[in-house]
Amino acid sequence: PKSKLDPEAYGNQNSTITAEHIEDKLDGLTVDEAMNNNKLFILNHHDVLIPYLRRINTTTTKTYASRTLLFLQDNGSLKPLAIELSLPHPDGDQFGVTSKVYTPSDQGVESSIWQLAKAYVAVNDSGVHQLISHWLNTHAVIEPFVIATNRQLSVLHPIHKLLYPHFRDTMNINAMARQILINAGGVLESTVFPSKFAMEMSAVVYKDWVFPDQALPADLVKRGVAVEDSSSPHGVRLLIEDYPYAVDGLEIWSAIKSWVTDYCSFYYGSDEEILKDNELQAWWKELREVGHGDKKNEPWWPEMETPQELIDSCTTIIWIASALHAAVNFGQYPYAGYLPNRPTVSRRFMPEPGTPEYEELKKNPDKAFLKTITAQLQTLLGVSLIEILSRHTTDEIYLDNESLLNGQRTKNHLLLSTNLERS
């Protein structure tokens, strides 16, 4: 894997994983054959973390930037082949990184080292999950859409009625998050490894945010887990068939798109009707030029000149605010509630031979593991947080609730929403 970081600022950041590290674990395939058959995948947190890692490691956190190669086995499961853990070069960023590659083992101390390597990856992934997959990609980016909808669209406007149910509580939740979760010294900084650099890191990642890529089919293709295929039901073919998020998500995406298509087509039958809707145009202008003002000149924004652009945009907005958020949030506790599955902080580096930590790892690997991952108080706070985040509100509104359209449903609305529920 090659890095996209600027080599003038960060030196050589390319991976040190070679074919020799993995070729004996590919079920008889060569690396080229595995790649050509869509068998190799990567979990890559390297470029996101390296610019912050030197500063992060001046705190009580001691961690790495990770790359993990995975192999798609014939039974449909992914097997980790190699983990690369990297640190900024001690002589300065311009000299690149120092890296070490770890491969699976089930014998002696090497087995314990492999378990620790996987724990460092989990630490990376848990922080990226909360700060980017959750906060940035479902809370922060949707806020401009909520504000523009309330500012520019009348409550009687059909697009206001379409979107409003999916924005329920978003602004209130975001406001509370800024007070107690993502604020300086807040709960998130106290429980995930980037600590006081958390919000800066997520803000920098926003530079790569692209609105059309948030559509589920586009996202799956961009991440390399699907390919475009017009003969497939949803226009994409999954490369990993046993991928519940994608399999179920595409069904939900399709239902949302079908509903939005029928709904928008009822009100907008031509390009002219889109262009002459002053409220709609003001809404789109504000969310592009003010709400997402840093990206107002990006060429990928839909122009909002056709019914299809409206349909695609509203489908993506609803997907982000509903299904995507549900996927990254509500399922956290059943897995991450057991901290060894999902450590959020690492407190010391990989033990080196000849050190007391290495001897401890040989004699008592469980104790060494627990000394490395999240401390007890942080664990209590972090697990309590995700337990609360994973709850649905007591007054949750579901598809069959009459208040979805504020009690102003017409026969056509009822027919359309019934079709959505059946989907």
**Where do runs of H (alpha helix) occur along 81-154?**
108-128, 143-152
* Residue 407 pLDDT greater than 60, yes or no: no
- Altogether, the residues listed in the chain come to a count of 423
Contact indicator for 386, 187 with CB cutoff of 8 Å: no
> pLDDT of 161-183, one tens digit each?
999 999 988 999 999 999 988 89
Q: What is the pLDDT averaged over residues 43-55?
A: 97
Which region holds residue 173: left if phi is over 0, alpha if psi is between -120 and 50, else beta? alpha
pLDDT for 374 equals 93
Per the DSSP assignment, residues forming a β-bridge with 237 are: 227
Greater model confidence, 168 or 225:
225
Q: Is pLDDT of 11 > 90?
A: yes
Tell me the C-alpha distance between 115 and 107, whole Å: 11
CB atoms within 10 A of CB 231: 6
What average pLDDT does the structure give for the chain?
93
Instruction: Calculate mean pLDDT across residues 92-101.
Output: 96
* R_g of the chain computed on alpha carbons: 24
**164/318 Cα distance (integer angstroms):** 10
Q: Which residue has the tokens 């990989």?
A: 350
**The pLDDT of residue 151:** 97
For every residue of 362-408, DSSP letters joined together read HH-HHHHHHHHB--HHHHHHHHHHHHHHTPPPTT---TT-GGGGTT-
Any bridge partners for residue 346, and if so which?
373
Run of H or E including 196: none
Euclidean distance between CA atoms 330 and 177, whole angstroms: 16
Strand, helix or coil for residue 44: strand
Give the best-scoring range by mean pLDDT among 139-153, 173-187, 377-391.
139-153
Say yes or no to pLDDT of 403 above 60.
no
Return the amino acid letter for 254: S
3-class state of residue 419 by DSSP:
helix
pLDDT at 408: 45
Name all domains of the chain by residue range, CATH numbers in brackets: 19-106 (3.10.450.60), 135-327+392-404 (1.20.245.10)
Tens digit of pLDDT for each residue in 242-293? 999 999 999 999 999 999 999 999 999 999 999 999 999 999 999 999 999 9
Nearest CA to 123 out of 340, 380, 332 is that of: 340
Contacts of 131 (CB under 8 A, 6+ apart): 188, 192, 194, 198, 199, 201, 202, 205
